[in-house]
Amino acid sequence: MKKRRIQAYICTVFILSIIFSSFNGTAEAAPSVSAQKAIVIDQDTGRILYEKDANTQSRIASITKIMTAILAIESGKLDETVKVSDNAVRAEGSSIYLKPGEKIKLEDLVFGLMLRSGNDSAVAIAEHVGGSLDGFVYLMNKKAEEIGMKNTHFSNPHGLDDHEDHYSSAYDMAILTRYAMQNEKYREVAGTKVHTSPDPENDWDRKWKNKNRLLTELYKYCTGGKTGYTKRAKRTLVTTATKGGQNLIAVTLNGPDDWNDHIQMFEYGFKNFDTVIAVSEGKVDDIKDPFYENKIYIKRDVLLALKKEEIETVRVEYKLLKPKESWKDAVVPEVVGKAVIYMGGEQADAVPLYYSQVKVKEKKSWWMFWKQSFITVLGVKTDG
């Protein structure tokens, strides 16, 4: 289901507010979670919907493997065959029971990593993709820095408590998961309930069932995630969920009742927030300058995660370069300004405005009427 466009959504909210004005319904209270650290964010916009001590550096156990998985997927080597080392087989803790010298596809190792949390699989992946454990750890930390994980340092590919300087935060793990969920293969792996892999010593396949009970049995809106546990980190959990076109990410660290924590956080997010389109991809209809009219467009939808009472605080400003005399006889720059989206007086997003040398075709859709009707509410204007 597509995100609701904000102009039509304003109309809907307005009508419903009149219909139900006689009721004293209130927004759901923030969830009370068992976890020491927790967060839920909107996957499409990155907005934090709820948090609890989300930036404190903490042990994270096997949710570390989200980074291991996405690096393996991005390596482009999933079809390669990995020879399992003695070092990988000796990895402590949870295992997919690899054999020394066994040859197995990297893709199957990633499934074993994510579904069964195999520490032997993590080491085998790291040695193949990074050349060595140290080489792979370098890649992990480099990627963490690239995507903005400011309270994170990786020292191994599995999350075991064998290093003191292996840590992250609930917020950083949400950032990592949001990044990983942009990858189609990662979404497939994380959302798989059962995977089979050839067993070289038997006539039957290995069969791995996902340990993520939210995905397999407890929450019908869950789309994936990763479990974790060590004696020092306690229970850690990352999950994703989708309902009505809205995509959320939840993280808990040291959460004794983490399954229920995640359900509560998701239900809070789905009930109190909605992901809407503030500015739609394509032609911009609100620019009346003779030079630019019918020739300005944007290349992506601008999404906002909003509470119902925040809808009317959204406004858009179109800031355009003043046309130059020389443009009449020369090519106009591709980017001629930007659309700045404000929410409650603060900038929420901004996108480039592109100029087309030919008239941009107008989209034919039912919501255009509402868009024109709510221009005043949105506070649209053009700045030179």
> Which residues line the annotated binding site?
226
Q: Is residue 110 within 8 Å of residue 208, measured between CB atoms? A: no
Tokens 């649209």 sit on residue = 380
What are residue 226's DSSP bridge partners?
A: 238
Which is the catalytic residue, given 65, 211, 234, 371?
65
- Catalytic residue check, 65: yes
Q: Is residue 230 within 8 Å of residue 275, measured between CB atoms? A: no
Instruction: Output DSSP code: residue 62.
Output: G
Laid out side by side, the sheet with 381-383 consists of: 282-283, 296-298, 346-355, 335-343, 314-320, 381-383
75-96 as b/e: b if 16+ CB within 10 A:
eebbeeebebbeebbebebbbb
Which is the catalytic residue, given 58, 94, 117, 168?
117
- Catalytic residue check, 103: no
Which of 84, 71, 36, 96 has the alpha carbon at shortest distance from 254?
A: 36
- Catalytic residue check, 62: yes
Which is the catalytic residue, given 3, 52, 58, 62?
62
Tokens 């074993």 sit on residue = 112
Sequence ranges of the binding site for substrate: 226
Please give the positions annotated as active site: 62, 65, 117
